[in-house]
């Protein structure tokens, strides 16, 4: 663990020191984008584990503010808790999450361990961002169970890596439609501050999620520190998570920064632990309070942004033996 933390800090320091001269040189600001493509990959392979939330992938397209459909602008202006003066964008995404128990060798999985489960979904979101706040409203529609293709995805990847073939997928959660409605509000107290010639900001957030997949409320904050901070709220992650944005508004030149954040959730329902809604299935007793802590580094220049996030997650159910950690890589490309 200590080695991992030192590696992450070393990466952040290299980003800051190695790009200082370039960032100080005048660079042309990028043109306004028509949209941003985001590729997101989350996996615990970065820390040599294969359990619990073990993989997540998401491909997303976020429109530029001048290409947002009128219905999305009308929706954003009509939602009472949304800001009324910021730029409005829409987000469209497809993704898949995979969850497994700790021991993949067992044909009959341990009933006290997390059930096998997958979630394949489409998502659409409306985003409002101003100088002072960020509002995100997202709806996910998908399927949990064999139709999520999680078994096929994990088996195929493990065969390529010549890793253990997971044996217990016959006990995964049953097919069930999945609905998630997620709302997040983040805000900042002013423009970035300055310390030792570098910039910093801190963005608190609150949110809630409802549906048959998740029911929870959450709150937390994230801080960034580095060179030439882009105008965004940090990198995106797959929910449940700290909020972030697929898009970014870079300043002229190169941006390099490190970030750290925390998010706490009070959870009433998590289908991947509680089991299916409408029929009996494998399930475990969940912990009602869960927290994510994350550290990472980001590099942005012209039309691209690359980030890596190291996520620590507290135990999610009572019989879980170890807390989780996984990595998240996000590449965002402006068009």
pLDDT of residue 31: 59
Q: Is the pLDDT of residue 209 over 80?
A: yes
Which of 55-59, 192-196, 215-219 is least confident? Answer: 192-196
Q: Is the pLDDT of residue 167 over 80?
A: yes
Q: What is the pLDDT of residues 92-117, one digit of tens each?
A: 999 999 999 999 999 999 999 999 99
pLDDT of residue 131: 85
Helix (H/G/I), strand (E/B), else coil: 195: strand
Strand 214-227 to 324-334 pairing: unpaired
pLDDT of residue 94: 98
Burial (CB < 10 A; 0-12, 13-18, 19+), residue 189, is exposed
Q: Is the pLDDT of residue 3 over 90?
A: no
pLDDT of residue 332: 96
Percentage of the chain exceeding pLDDT 90: 80
Q: Compute the distance between CA of residue 276 and CA of residue 282 in angstroms, rounded to an integer.
A: 8
Per-position DSSP letters for 124-144, written without gaps between them: EEEEEE-SSEEEEEEEEEEEE
Confidence band for 279, pLDDT divided at 50, 70 and 90: very high
Start-to-end CA distance of the chain, whole Å, equals: 38
The matching CATH number, chosen from 3.40.50.1820, 2.60.120.10, 3.30.1330.10, 2.40.128.140, for 2-30+40-327 is: 2.40.128.140
> To the nearest whole number, what is the mean pLDDT of the chain?
91
Q: What is the pLDDT of residues 64-92, one digit of tens each?
A: 999 999 999 999 999 888 888 899 999 99
Confidence band for 140, pLDDT divided at 50, 70 and 90: very high
Q: Provide the whole-model pTM.
A: 0.90
pLDDT of residue 221: 97
**In which element (H, E) is residue 14 found?**
helix 2-18
**Other CB atoms within 10 Å distance of the CB of residue 213:** 26
Q: Compute the distance between CA of residue 19 and CA of residue 51 in angstroms, rounded to an integer.
A: 37
Q: What is the pLDDT of residues 238-277, one digit of tens each?
A: 999 999 999 998 777 899 999 999 999 999 999 999 999 9
Q: What is the pLDDT of residues 216-242, one digit of tens each?
A: 999 999 999 999 998 889 999 999 999
Mean pLDDT, rounded, for 117-138: 96
Cα–Cα distances (Å) from 94 to 8, 155, 200, 306, 311, in that order, read: 29, 20, 33, 20, 22
pLDDT of residue 288: 98
Instruction: Give the chain's count of helices (H) and strands (E).
Output: 5, 13
- The owner of tokens 């882009």 is 230
Backbone angles phi, psi at 209, to 5 degrees: -135, 135
pLDDT of residue 325: 97
């Amino acid at each position: 663990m200590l080695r991992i933390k030192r590696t992450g800090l070393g990466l952040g320091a290299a980003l800051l020191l190695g790009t200082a001269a370039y960032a100080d040189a005048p660079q042309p600001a990028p043109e306004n984008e028509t949209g941003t493509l985001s590729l997101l990959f989350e996996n615990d392979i970065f820390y040599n584990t294969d359990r619990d939330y073990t993989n997540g992938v998401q491909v997303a397209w976020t429109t530029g503010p001048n290409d947002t459909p009128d219905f999305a602008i009308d929706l954003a202006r009509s939602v009472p808790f949304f800001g009324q003066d910021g730029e409005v964008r829409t987000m469209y995404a497809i993704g898949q999450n995979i969850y497994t128990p700790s021991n993949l060798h067992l044909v009959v999985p341990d009933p006290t361990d997390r059930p096998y489960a997958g979630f394949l979904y489409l998502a659409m979101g409306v985003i409002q961002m101003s100088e002072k706040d960020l509002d995100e409203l997202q709806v996910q529609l998908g399927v949990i169970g064999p139709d999520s293709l999680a078994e096929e995805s994990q088996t195929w990847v493990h065969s390529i890596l010549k890793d253990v073939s997971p044996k217990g997928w016959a006990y995964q959660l049953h097919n069930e439609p999945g609905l998630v409605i997620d709302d997040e509000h983040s805000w900042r107290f002013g423009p970035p501050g300055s310390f030792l010639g570098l910039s910093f900001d801190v963005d608190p957030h609150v949110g809630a999620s409802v549906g048959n997949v998740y029911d929870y409320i959450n709150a937390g904050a994230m801080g960034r520190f580095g060179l030439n901070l882009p105008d965004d709220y940090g990198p995106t992650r797959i929910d449940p998570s700290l909020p972030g944005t697929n898009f970014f508004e870079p300043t002229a030149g190169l941006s390099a920064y490190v970030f750290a954040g925390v998010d706490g959730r009070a959870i009433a329902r998590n289908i991947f632990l509680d089991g299916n809604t409408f029929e009996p299935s494998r399930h475990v007793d969940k912990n009602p309070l869960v927290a994510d802590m994350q550290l990472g580094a980001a590099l942005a220049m012209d039309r691209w942004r690359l980030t890596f996030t190291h996520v620590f997650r507290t135990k999610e159910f009572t019989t879980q033996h170890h807390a989780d950690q996984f990595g998240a890589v996000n590449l965002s490309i402006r068009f």
